[in-house]
Amino acid sequence: MKMIHLAAIAALGASAVLAHAATGDPQAAKKKTVMCEGCHGIPGYKSTFPDVYPVPRLGGQHPAYIVKALEGYKSGERSHPTMRGIAAGLSEQDMADLAAHYGAQK
């Protein structure tokens, strides 16, 4: 019984994120991507701060995932210092626009 309730709650949360991401304007995001391209736009790029790890590609990611990740960086739930600093300056609309832009890529 608890599993059903948890699944329903998770589905509702995902629906809310999807609805939010769907309001993004991919054209508006083109003016906002400059802060992303320095790392995420370089194939095979690896971050060296705070640890060495491959930087994920944003193109083709599900818009709801991008919004959720940016919200996590902004709230501190995710802890990468550079991403936290970038996300701190993003509005909900900025996040939705970026998610729509990158989600539309292949």
In this prediction the pTM is 0.75
The pLDDT tens digits for 48-63 are 887 888 999 999 999 9
Per-residue pLDDT, 59: 94
CA distance 1 to 87: 37
Count Cα neighbours of 38 within 13 Å in the Cβ-side half-sphere. 7
Spans of the chain below 70 pLDDT: 1-22
Per-residue pLDDT, 16: 52
CB 99 within 8 A of CB 24: yes
2-103 fold:
Cytochrome Bc1 Complex; Chain D, domain 2 (1.10.760)
The tokens for 102 are 């990158």
- For the chain, the structural domain boundaries read 2-103
Per-residue pLDDT, 83: 95
